[in-house]
Amino acid sequence: MDNNLVESVISTSKYVFDRKLVSGLAGNISARFHDENGEDIIAITPTLVPLSSVTKKNIVIVTINGEILSKGTPSSELNLHLEIYKKNENVNGIVHTHSPYATGFAFSNKKIKRLEGFGDIKNEYLTEIKYFKPGSIELANKCSEKLIKEDVLILKNHGVVAIGSNPQKAAFLAEFVEEIAKTQFITYLLEK
């Protein structure tokens, strides 16, 4: 097991919690690495543990096919993480949040404008996918398809998924999305 990558999931979990991108038991984070045989192994945050309390002892290690190699129960969004890794070789970190401003947009009929720094600038707004039940394979399939071309998605009536070459980069992106959602919210108020 790659200790550095496990550490990166732990430090990113604390970062995401401290930045208030999640609260309570919400949110989940993972990293991918390769074992000595070159197999894809995923370290993912456990279910029903606040991201502020993720440790080496409770983090869950699974294969790319979802076989659990450690103690504990992985996040209920395990399928989402696995499908994203399966479809995109370059992704090695995933962060899912319910950050309040971006999620507010996800519950409204307004979209978050894409600012510089996000993938394909031809699309004026961040890509939003329709509502699927949290934890469902339908949500995992739809998100993973869209994330071949995007690096962040807004999930209708739910939250945000951001990807990167490591978990911290995915967290910075999730934080950036929250920041621009907040700025746009303030702009809407001022224009009223």
Residues belonging to the active site: 77
How far is the C-alpha of 36 from the C-alpha of 34, rounded, in Å? 7
Mention every residue, 6+ apart, whose C-beta is less than 8 A from residue 43.
Answer: 1, 5, 6, 9, 30, 31, 33, 59, 60, 61
Smallest separation (angstroms) from Zn ion to the CB of 43: 19
Smallest separation (angstroms) from Zn ion to the CB of 188: 25
Nearer to Zn ion, 50 or 134 (CB): 134
Nearer to Zn ion, 93 or 159 (CB): 159
Residues that bind Zn ion (CB under 5 A): 134, 159
CB 7 within 8 A of CB 14: no
Q: Residues 35-49, buried b or exposed e (16+ Cβ, 10 A)?
A: eeeeebbbbbbbbeb
Nearer to Zn ion, 73 or 123 (CB): 73
Smallest separation (angstroms) from Zn ion to the CB of 45: 12
